[in-house]
C-alpha cells in the first residue's frame, strides 16, 4: 500500500532548524528595521509581521513559489529564478536569498542527489540561474513530491519562524512571546495562502521601501548581529 504521507518526514527534516541552510545567521532586514522603527516588544513584532511579512508572502513569495513549482522546464525555472533576483533591490537581501538557496541545494544533494537538483546546480554554475532560496524550496517540493499546499504552508511557516528567531536576539522578547506571534501569524496562513493562489505572474510583486532601506543601511552598520 502506498503511503499518502510518505513525503511528510522529508518536509519536516528539511524545514527543521537542524537542516544546514545557515538561516540562523540572517534576519532578512529585521535587525536594522527594528533599530530604525523602534521595534522593542512583542506587540511591535506582531505589527511588523502583519504589515510587512504577510503582505509580501501573499503578493510575491508564495505566488513565485507556485510559479517555480509549476515550471514546465529547466529554462523556465531559471527564468523565474532570475525574476526573483530582480525583485530584490537591496544587495544584502539578494545575497542572503542566494546564500540560503545554494546552501539548501547543497544540503539536499548531500542527502538525495537526484537529477533535478543536479540540473539546477548546473544552471547556477553556467550563470543561467542565481539559486534563490524560494526557487530551491519550490524545486525541492516538486522533486520530493510535496503537495503544493504543503509546500506553501511550509514556506509560510519558515518565513515567520525565521523572523521570530531573529527577534529573540534583537528585541526584548522571550520564547513564549515569539510563539504567540507565530501562532497569531499561523492563524492567518489559510487566508494568505488562499489569496496567493489568485495572483497571476504578470501582476505578482510587492514593494516594501522601509524594509529595503533598512537592509541597505544594515550593510554599512558599525555593528550587527546578523549577516543580513
Name which of 148, 177, 151 is nearest 165 in CA terms: 177
Whole-model pTM over 0.85: yes
Per-residue pLDDT reduced to its tens digit, 4-40: 788 999 999 998 888 888 888 888 888 888 888 888 9
Name which of 166, 185, 183, 182 is nearest 35 in CA terms: 166
Is 162 a domain residue?
yes
Domain count, the chain: 1
Is 148 a domain residue?
yes
Is 42 a domain residue?
yes
CATH number at residue 141: 1.10.4190.10
Is 225 a domain residue?
no
Is 127 a domain residue?
yes
Per-residue pLDDT reduced to its tens digit, 146-165: 999 999 999 999 999 999 99
Long-range contacts of 43-50 (CB under 8 A, 24+ apart): 44/171, 45/163, 45/164, 45/167, 45/171, 45/173, 45/177, 45/178, 45/181, 46/180, 46/181, 46/184, 48/163, 49/160, 49/163, 49/181, 49/184, 49/185, 50/185
Query: What value does the CA radius of gyration of the chain take, rounded to a whole number of Å?
Result: 17
Range of the domain at 102: 25-218
Amino acid at each position: 500500500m502506498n503511503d499518502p504521507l510518505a513525503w511528510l518526514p522529508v518536509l519536516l527534516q528539511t524545514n527543521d532548524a537542524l537542516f544546514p541552510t545557515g538561516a540562523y545567521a540572517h534576519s532578512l532586514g529585521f535587525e536594522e528595521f527594528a533599530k530604525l522603527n523602534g521595534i522593542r516588544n512583542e506587540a511591535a513584532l506582531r505589527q511588523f509581521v502583519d504589515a510587512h511579512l504577510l503582505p509580501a508572502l501573499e503578493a510575491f513569495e508564495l505566488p513565485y513559489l507556485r510559479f517555480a513549482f509549476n515550471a514546465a522546464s529547466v529554462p523556465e525555472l531559471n527564468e523565474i529564478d532570475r525574476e526573483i533576483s530582480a525583485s530584490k533591490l537591496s544587495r544584502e537581501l539578494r545575497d542572503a536569498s542566494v546564500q540560503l538557496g545554494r546552501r539548501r541545494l547543497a544540503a539536499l544533494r548531500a542527502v538525495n542527489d537526484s537529477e533535478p537538483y543536479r540540473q539546477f546546480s548546473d544552471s547556477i554554475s553556467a550563470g543561467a540561474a542565481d539559486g534563490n532560496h524560494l526557487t530551491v524550496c519550490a524545486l525541492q517540493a516538486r522533486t520530493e513530491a510535496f503537495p503544493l499546499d504543503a509546500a506553501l504552508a511550509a514556506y509560510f511557516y519558515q518565513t515567520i519562524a525565521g523572523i521570530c528567531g531573529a527577534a529573540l536576539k534583537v528585541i526584548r522578547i522571550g520564547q513564549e512571546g515569539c510563539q504567540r506571534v507565530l501562532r497569531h501569524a499561523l492563524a492567518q496562513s489559510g487566508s494568505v495562502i488562499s489569496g496567493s493562489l489568485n495572483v497571476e505572474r504578470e501582476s505578482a510583486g510587492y514593494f516594501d521601501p522601509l524594509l529595503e532601506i533598512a537592509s541597505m543601511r544594515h550593510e554599512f552598520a558599525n555593528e550587527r548581529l546578523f549577516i543580513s
